[in-house]
Every structure is written in C-alpha cells, then in structure tokens.
Amino acid sequence: MTLSNSYAFSPTFGECVLQAFNLCGIRPSEITQEHMQSARMAANLMQGRWSADGLNLWKVELVSTPLVQGTSSYSYDGSVIVMLDAYISIANGDGTFTDRIILPISRSEYATYPEKSQQGFPTVYWADRLLNPTVTLWPVPDGNEAYLRYYAVQQIEDAALTNGLQLDLPVYFLEAFCFGLAWRLAQIWAPEKVGQIKPLADESYNVACEQNVENSSIFVSPMLSGYWRV
C-alpha cells in the first residue's frame, strides 16, 4: 500500500467558496465579484453563529493575567467568547506555582457582596461580558497571588479572501463549512436548491460536532448515608 504520507490538506477560503457555489449549481466561470462579496459576509456570519453554538475545542487557549494588589477588575480581549475554568497561581519562590481553582458568579451575586474592596485570596470571579469585557475578582488580590489563569474560548478568526488565506478550522469541520456556506448562498443565488442542501448541511455540522468533544470519564457516587438514621 502506497499512501501520501501527508496531512497537509487545508484549502483556502477561496477554494471553499468555489466548492460552496458548486454545491449550489453555480460554476466557477459564472461567479462574479458580487458572488464573492456575498460569500465573505455569509461565511463570517456562519462562523459567528458557530462561536455562539458551542464549545469549539480548537479555539480554547490558556490566558495568564498578572495580578496587582488592591486591583479587583482586569480587562480581557473582546475576541474571547466565554471564560471556562479559572484558577489563581501562587508563586512558590523557586520558579514553580501552586494553583487554586476559583468559581464563576453572576452579576446579581456580586452585587450582594457588602464589601467589594475587601482584600484576601480570590475565591470567585465575575466576567462582565461587555464589548470591552472585564473580569472582577473577589476578594480583591492582597499581593500574595501572582496570576489569574483561565481557559478561554476564542472567536474563530475572520474568513478573508485576500492572499490565499486559509480558514481557522480543523479538517473535520471543512465539509460542514462548505455545506453550511452553500445553504446560506443558495438562499440568495439558488433558492431552488435550499431544501436539498439544508439537510446535508445539518448532517455535516452534527457529525463535526460529535468529534468536537473531550473524551473523559465522569463518576457519580451518590451519598446514601443521609437516607438512613442510626
């Protein structure tokens, strides 16, 4: 058996646009600048929808923010869709760190705290999801903590047609991208194909999402002692 020994398949955004139009029954020779403008808009709207739909594992990054004594709120990048697990790193003095998990709270819960300037070891955080978002710690860092570290789901990078740029997607989402884009473009350029393409787009997206998970075990141990009186 002779194989390619290659794992480099990564078509450009332009190539995926051509494939999407092919699925709509529109040949490359028929595509105009107006078609490409529609494709760019539809692709980026779809990627925005995907960012909102679920946890895109390939876009999870670990973010480290230095902490300052007496400072409770810290800005973070607007490209962060959602913060996941967060913890405080304490410097041990030998180049290593001890990490302690902290938990998320809501705006309403933070509002109930009577002394928001109280200093101590942070145990909770409130992510204020504004256009310029911030994360607020409580208690306020007292200077014994080095970093706030958290896993963040980043926005999928823009789909751009210039200079043969590729897509910010893993290979198992490429088919879903082409079918999803084809369905959106068909609504404009090939309405008669919408009903045919929609189930294929849904199937491709669902298959990709089934792979977009972490394989880990969950153990549930019920406490039975509370049901019995001695």
Could you tell me if 150 and 75 lie in one domain? yes
99, 88 contact by CB (below 8 A) = yes
Tell me whether residue 217 is in a domain. no
Could you tell me if 74 and 140 lie in one domain? yes
Tell me whether residue 205 is in a domain. yes
% of the chain beyond a pLDDT of 90: 90
Tell me whether residue 228 is in a domain. no
Average pLDDT over residues 206-215: 92
More confident residue, 98 or 225: 98
Could you tell me if 98 and 110 lie in one domain? yes
Could you tell me if 62 and 147 lie in one domain? yes
d(CA 14, CA 17): 5
Could you tell me if 105 and 185 lie in one domain? no
Tell me whether residue 215 is in a domain. no
The least confident of 64-68, 112-116, 166-170, 217-221 is 217-221
The separation between the first and the last C-alpha atoms of the chain, rounded to the nearest angstrom, is 69
Could you tell me if 113 and 149 lie in one domain? yes
- Report pLDDT digits (tens) over 50-96: 999 878 999 999 999 999 999 999 999 999 999 999 999 999 999 99
Average pLDDT over residues 151-167: 96
Query: How many domains, the chain?
Result: 2
Residue 227 has pLDDT above 60, yes or no: no
Could you tell me if 47 and 61 lie in one domain? no
Residue ending a domain, choose from 108, 131, 154: 154
Tell me whether residue 117 is in a domain. yes
- Report pLDDT digits (tens) over 8-49: 999 999 999 999 999 999 999 999 999 999 999 999 999 999
Tell me whether residue 133 is in a domain. yes
Could you tell me if 113 and 197 lie in one domain? no
Could you tell me if 41 and 130 lie in one domain? no
Helix residue spans in 103-172 (DSSP H): 107-111
pLDDT band at 119 (very low <50, low <70, confident <90, very high): very high
Residue 222 has pLDDT above 90, yes or no: no
Could you tell me if 63 and 141 lie in one domain? yes
Which residue range forms the structural domain that includes residue 165? 13-55+160-209
Token digits of residue 53: 């739909």
Could you tell me if 62 and 148 lie in one domain? yes
Angle (CA) 22 11 56, round 5°: 100
Tell me whether residue 30 is in a domain. yes
Q: Is the pTM above the cut of 0.75?
A: yes
Residues 6 or more apart whose CB falls under 8 angstroms from that of 182 comprise 19, 20, 21, 23, 24, 193, 197, 201
